Structure formats: structure tokens, C-alpha cells
Chains A and B, each alone.
Chain A
Amino acid sequence: MGKLHQMIERNSIVLVLMITIVASIGGIIEIAPLFTIQNTVEKVEGMRVYTPLELAGRDIYVREGCYACHSQMIRKLKTDVDRYGHYSLAAESMYDRPFQWGSKRTGPDLARIGGRRSDEWHVRHLKEPRKVVKGSLMPGYAFLADTDIDPQRIALSIKALQWAGDPYTDEMVKEAAKDAIRQASPDMDDAESIKERYGEKVQIRDFDGNPARVTEMDAMVAYLQMLGTLVDTKALRAAVKAQRQAAESKPAGKAKEVAAR
């Protein structure tokens, strides 16, 4: 070791090359396969790209640093599943740039918050969290209700996401700015047309209780209300159960494999 290392530490270029090689190995072996191994992200029904309004909400979530206190990742642990619902699938964050799994739960997990509370609850809670939940540590975000969304920026975002590889159609890109308004304005004649682009399950309504404007509060609530609702986890659980039962008769090793999927 002595001789070899003497050589390395007398030559800065050799040292640099050695460091570069030795430090690259781990990342290459752990990250590169994630892009090529097919089953890293499972195929599930229901996943779709974010609508422009939801995306605007997500951007606000990132902007305000909600991820600093809330995770969006229900781990494959009994305690997590019992408290927050079906564990999070890889597919459920397949359109998340960047991912929002978080690393600290100062507040509860939000991966399946969609549909659990009413819009009114969310609006009141975002405005004055400590009035709605006694003892909460959450800051208030009343200012969201006073700020209009910026449709032009949202359109640019959708375009960038399409460029990055998310399956937004050209029509979605073209309609993005208008779709952002439509989703929070059920009274508009062509509001329902979003469903042609994003599917029947898209929620179209005035989220913030102020029909006169489309605010950041609309966007935020629209985002929260769709979180974790795209994949039908009830059906998924039933399917896994059925598979497991079917596999019961097969050798034990196989059964385990199926259950793990």
C-alpha cells in the first residue's frame, strides 16, 4: 500500500482521477438501473398528469416550503398504513418534479389527503390553522386567498413539463392558461371541456368560496383535494388480496413474490 500510495499522493492528476473514479461507482450502480429496470415504477390505472390548476397549487406548495413539515410518502409500515392509508406507490409520484416525499413530519402525511376534508375546511385551515386545529404549529396562509393565479406562467410550466417528457398533449399545452381558470369556474360554458383532456375524475368547482376570482387558494385546495386520489387503492387492495389467494395453492416462494408486487 505504501509504495502505491506514494505514487498517488505525489501526482495530483492521478489523485484527481482516482477520486473521480472511486466516487462515481456508488452512484452509477444505484441510480442508473432505476431508469432502466422496468418494474421500478409499477403500471397502475388512473395516473394522469396534473391539470394546470393543480400544478399551480403544487408550485405554491413548493414555494411555501410545505415539504419542510409534511411528507407525501406513506411507507410500507403497518403504523404508517393504519394512520394514513394504502402505502404510496412509485407510480403515484411519476409526474412529480421534484418529488415531495419530505423528511420530517412536523405535520401529518399528506399523500392521501385528497377527499378527506371539505373545501371549506381546507380554506379555513389554510387561513387560520391554529383556530381550526388546536395546538397546531402551522403558519397561516391567508394571503393565498388574496393573490390571483398567473395563467400565463402556468402555461409556460406545462410547456416545460411537456418538453421534459411528461405526456401533455399539444392541445393541453395550448389550452393550459384557460384550463387553469376553467377548473375553478364551473359557471363557464366550456368548463367541462377539461374532462376531455384530463379525464372524467377531474374536480371542477370553485374551491376557495370566492367565485369572483381564481386565486392561489383555489389552486392550493384543488391540488390538496386530488392528492392520492388518482389510483383506486381500494380496488388495488382487493386485487392484491385476490392474487394472494390464488397464489396460496402455488409454492410458497411464488406467493411471496406476488404479494410483494
Chain B
Amino acid sequence: MKQEYNFSRRFFLKTSSALGALAFIPRGVKAFYEDVKNYIIPTKEQIPLKVSINKKSYAIKADTRTTLLDLLREDLNLTGAKKGCDHGQCGACTVHIDGQRVLSCLTLAATLPGKEVTTIEGLANGDQLHPMQEAFIQCDGFQCGYCTPGQIMSAVACVNEGHTKSVAEIKEFMSGNLCRCGAYNGIVESIQKVAAQ
């Protein structure tokens, strides 16, 4: 099964505009393009990067195709951000970049220099849990815990953004973070609790 997501992102970026144009080109040409594509094996490129994560700076060499999520999980052993889809459809990989909630699976590592990334591992203040982390424990805002780091990063942003005026508003602004365990009761309660502080 040849599916788009299976192609390298770099390759996809390079060729997507060409592909767009191909939509208007006769079938034979498209097939030819498909053939050619299989014979050009792009060599992988690694670029030196300086990134700042949880206020710690890292000088690394990263594959140009590497997402922030894979950089965190595979290269830096910061596995708090979760991979739930790798497609920007679930929110499990939510981190903060310069204070804004962002899907790390849709963010290329190469775009990070000059920005500050905060992951769930950087949320607590020393040995003091972030109030949202405490609230999630108290309100049992999780079951399996896999969506939880993403929920908490989104929840912190949701409060900062001021979208906590009603249960309906919290639910709306937390709907980019799926929880298959359905721990939504506790998630909403946690946010209400922190918003009220």
C-alpha cells in the first residue's frame, strides 16, 4: 500500500508543488513521474542544529526529515511527548513553543533554532509539580496516561489563553486532544480547578 505519509517529509515537501501541478497533467506523465521517483533515492542530509528545550540548550546533528516529536523521543530520550498518530490528528504530542501549544509531530526539528521548546518534562518547577499536574492527579484526569502529557500541555495553554469561562468552552478548546480512555470528566475538572486559582 503506497501511502503518502510513508514518504520522507523532505522529499514530500520538495515534490508537493510539482505534484500539485501534475494533477492537471495526463495520466501517462503521472505514471512516468511515479517511476522516476522510485529511481531517485535521495541521500539523507544531516544538519547541525542548536535547540533549546526546557531551558537547556542542545547542539545536535539532526536528519532534515526529523520532526520535533521524533527528535525528543528518539534522540533526546524525552519521551514525555507521545506519538498517537504522527499526523496532527490527536494532540498527544502537544508541546509549547515560545509559550504556544504546538503539535510536535507536525514541526520539523530544523525549524527550531531561536525558539524555546517546553515539554511535559519541563513543566514542573524543580521538585514542585505544576498546578495543572497536581490537578490532574487530584481529579484523576487520566486513565492509561498516554494522552496525558499532551492534555496537560494543552490545558496549561487553555488556561493561559483564557478559554475557561464555561465547561462548554473548556471542552471546545480541549477537543484537539483525544483521549480514548474518555477521561474527559477529570480533564475538565482539572482545568476548572487551576483556572479558579
Q: Are both chains from one complex?
A: no
